[in-house]
Amino acid sequence: MSLLIPGRIADLVLFLIFCGTILVLTLQASGGKKFELKRKLAALDAMPEAIGRAVEMGRPVHYTPGGNPLYGVRGTHIQMGLVISGYVARLCARLGSKLIISVATAEQIPLAEEIYRGAYIAEKVPLAQPDVRFYGKGDPPFGAGCIETIYKERVAVNMIIGGSGSDFPIIAEGAFRAGAFQIGGNANVFMIPLVVASCEYTLIGEELFAAGAMLSEDPSQLAGIVANDLSKLFIIAMILLGVVLMTAGNSTVLQLLKI
């Protein structure tokens, strides 16, 4: 029995290349090398302004990382949503806005509360109890519950950033009818079109994952994004090489990918 699994060797090699690039650049960043990103995300710049407006209106901000479990197929999307919730919570604490976080799966409750509380401690703002709400198992109670919360609390800004599934249209439209300003972020290819059609500012696909690192402004996190750009160049080069060879009647790249 060989150590490598046939059919997954190419996957392993690509995996090691991608992770290796990220690892090397991150270590370089820890060693003091500076990385700079040229492309800015409008959605992140819009956040403070939106929250500021909510403060002026005296109405709360509603945030949800979306309806999937922490450890499932879209686990990392949800986790990224929770990471961004940390920055939103800090902004809310700093600007003095009330924040409500709705979670769709129960195991997110303690983590969301911990992040919420931590953000207020970091900003040195007193907080009695983090307002994290859970509504029940599955998308229907989550969607209906979020609408109810948005209406009853007269939410001014609604952010749905993370791994929303079919709960997205319900919450987004409910918030629109309540007159809330919306920022959406999603990396679920089925839901991205709805995000683009319904939100003022969006973080789509990879931008969601880059957003966390950009908000941290920590060079070792930014390094990961730069490393991904290098990996993308590698992928494009591989596609072009493969296509040129295939056109010439040589399927080496294709065969290599299938190992």
Residues in 80-99 at the binding interface with another protein, rule: CB under 8 A: 80, 82-83, 86, 90
Per-residue binding string, another protein, 45-84, x by CB under 8 A, is: ------------------------xxxxxxxx-xxx-xx-
Q: Are 67 and 163 in contact (CB under 8 A)?
A: yes
Of 43, 160, 192, 201, the one binding another protein by CB under 8 A? 192
Q: Which of residues 199-238 bind another protein (CB under 8 A)?
A: 204-210, 212-213, 216-221, 224-229, 231-232, 235-236, 238
Specify the amino acid at residue 181.
F
**Of residues 38 and 126, the one with the C-beta less far from another protein:** 38
Of 57, 110, 154, 179, the one binding another protein by CB under 8 A? 110
Q: Are 97 and 55 in contact (CB under 8 A)?
A: yes
**Of residues 158 and 198, the one with the C-beta less far from another protein:** 198
Neighbouring residues of 221: CB distance < 8 A, sequence distance ≥ 6: 212, 213
Of 28, 88, 109, 185, the one binding another protein by CB under 8 A? 109
Dist. CA 97–CA 47, nearest whole Å:
12
Is residue 243 within the footprint of another protein (CB under 8 A)?
Answer: yes
Dist. CA 100–CA 92, nearest whole Å:
10
Q: Which of 80, 85, 91 is nearest to 210 (CA)?
A: 80
DSSP assignment of 126-175: --SS--EEE--SSHHHHHHHHHHHHHHTT-SEEEEEE---THHHHHHHHH
**Of residues 37 and 46, the one with the C-beta less far from another protein:** 37
Quote the tokens at residue 4. Answer: 């490598």
Q: Which of residues 2-21 bind another protein (CB under 8 A)?
A: 2-5, 8, 10-12, 14-15, 18-19
Of 28, 48, 117, 127, the one binding another protein by CB under 8 A? 117
Q: Which of residues 144-183 bind another protein (CB under 8 A)?
A: 144-145, 147-148, 151-152, 166, 169-170, 172-174, 176-178
Dist. CA 44–CA 88, nearest whole Å:
10
Is residue 22 within the footprint of another protein (CB under 8 A)?
Answer: yes
C-beta of 156: minimal distance to another protein in Å? Answer: 16
